[in-house]
Amino acid sequence: MEYAACSHKGGDLATVRRRAAAFLDNLSGEESRGPVARQSWIIKWTKIGEEQCRVGDLKAGKGDSNEAAEARLCALTAFEVARRLLDENDPQCGEVTAKIEAGIQCLEVALAKVERVKIASCDYTELLAYYVPAGNDRLPTPAVICISMEDESETTLLARLLPAVIDRGMSLLVVSHRDVSNPAWGLSQALLSSCLDYLSARPGVDAARIGVYGEGMSAALATDFAASDRRLAAVVCDGGLWNWTRMRASVGWMTGVADAPEQGRVTAHRTQLMRRLRCPVLVVTGGRGFVSVSEAMKLQTECIEERIDLDLAMPRMIKSSGGCIENFVTLDDCIFGWLKQKLAFSAAPSSEPKDLPDIRSQVLGP
C-alpha cells in the first residue's frame, strides 16, 4: 500500500488527507494483520508527521508562515493516523499525543494561526478554549462551537479538525467536554451559551450563522444546547436519543417492566423534542458513538413526516487486528461539508440549498 505523503512538495495538505483516507479505507487488508505490520505503519505515519514538521520549520525560517502552517497541518493529520493505530495503553500513544500538542502550540505561538482565549462563564469563572479565526470586520464568516468527546482534550480535537476546516471559510471555537459538562440542570447549556455570546461578539463572526458540534457524550450536550438556545443555525448532535434511551431504561428499572413503551408514545416524545430544535440537525450514528443506526433511522423517518430538517451521517469503520478504526478524514469532511452548506443556507433562506459534497454516501438523507 502506498503511504508516502508527497513530502517533497512540503505542505501539500490535500494530498496528505487524500492518502490518509485511502490508507484507512484499505487498512483491513494484508497490511493490518499482525502486530509487526501494524507497528510498521505506526512508525511510517509518525515519520511522515515528523518530516512535515521539519518542512514547516524550514518554511517558517524563510518567512513563509502560510506554507509553514500548511506543513504543520499535514503533520497533525499524519500523527492522528498514527494515534488511531495505537492501542490507548501503548506508551507510544503518549509520545504521539505530545507531538500533536507541540504542533498546536507551534500554530498558536510561532505562526499565530490559533488563539487561546478565555470566556467569561455563567458562574463567574473563566473557560479556556481555542479560537481559530476565519473572517474579518469587512467579511464575517460562519462559526462552529466544537465540544470534544468525554475522554479527549480540546487540543486533541482541534488538532484533528483544523486540517479539515482550514479552507472552508468558518471560524472554530473548540472546548473540552470536561469544562462544559455539569450535572446541575441547565448549567451546561448556560456554559455553552457563554461560548455563543463570545463568538457573537467577535468582529469576524456572523452572529446569525453559528453552529455547534458535539462528539460522543457531548452530542447529547449539543442537543440540549440547541433546544435551549434558538440563536444556533445548525447542530451536529444525537437528536435526543441518549436522553431518551436513559429515560426509558430508568422507567423500566423503577417499574420492573422490561417491555418497550408503546410506539406512539415513543414517536410523540421524540417529535416533541425535535420540534424544539429550530435549526437543521445532523446526527452521527454508529462508529465510536452511542447512537445506534436503527434508532437514528427511526428518528429520521419521524422527522421526515414532521418536515423537520434532519440528516444522518455514518462513519466508515475499518475492521483490523486491533479492532475497528474510524476513517476520521472522510467523516470530518462529511460533517463540515454539511455545516458549511447549512450555515451558508441559513443566511440566504430564499435560495436553493447546494448539493452536499461527494462523501461516499456518508450522509444518509431521506
Which of 29-33, 57-61, 144-148, 249-253 shows the lowest per-residue confidence on average (mean pLDDT)?
A: 249-253
Instruction: Report the DSSP pairing between strands 281-284 and 323-326.
Output: unpaired
In this prediction the pTM is 0.87
Mean pLDDT of 8-31: 79
296-338 confidence digits (pLDDT tens):
998 999 999 889 999 999 998 887 666 788 999 999 999 999 9
pLDDT at 204: 94
pLDDT at 290: 77
Task: Give the SS3 label for residue 324.
Answer: strand
Task: Give the SS3 label for residue 6.
Answer: coil
* Distance (Å, whole) CA 241 – CA 291: 7
151-202 confidence digits (pLDDT tens):
999 999 999 999 999 999 999 999 999 999 988 878 999 999 999 999 999 9
- The answer to whether domain 115-364 has CATH 3.30.450.40 is no
* Distance (Å, whole) CA 300 – CA 214: 19
210-236 confidence digits (pLDDT tens):
999 999 999 999 999 999 999 999 999
Mean pLDDT of 236-245: 84
Q: How confident is the model at residue 1 (pLDDT cuts 50, 70, 90)?
A: very low
Q: Are 130 and 155 in contact (CB under 8 A)?
A: yes
* Residues facing residue 236 across a β-bridge: 213, 282
Which of 106-110, 115-119, 282-286, 358-362 shows the lowest per-residue confidence on average (mean pLDDT)?
A: 358-362
Q: How confident is the model at residue 127 (pLDDT cuts 50, 70, 90)?
A: very high
Q: 81 vs 290, which has greater pLDDT?
A: 81
What's the whole-number average pLDDT of the chain?
85
pLDDT at 14: 95
Which of 31-45, 240-254, 277-291 shows the lowest per-residue confidence on average (mean pLDDT)?
A: 240-254
Domain 7-110 belongs to what architecture? Up-down Bundle (1.20)
Q: Are 264 and 279 in contact (CB under 8 A)?
A: no
Q: Delimit the domains of the chain by residue range.
A: 7-110, 115-364
Question: Considering the chain, what percentage of its residues have pLDDT values greater than 90?
Answer: 64
Q: Residue 102 pLDDT more than 50?
A: yes
pLDDT at 114: 97
pLDDT at 174: 98
Q: Which amino acid is at 284?
A: V
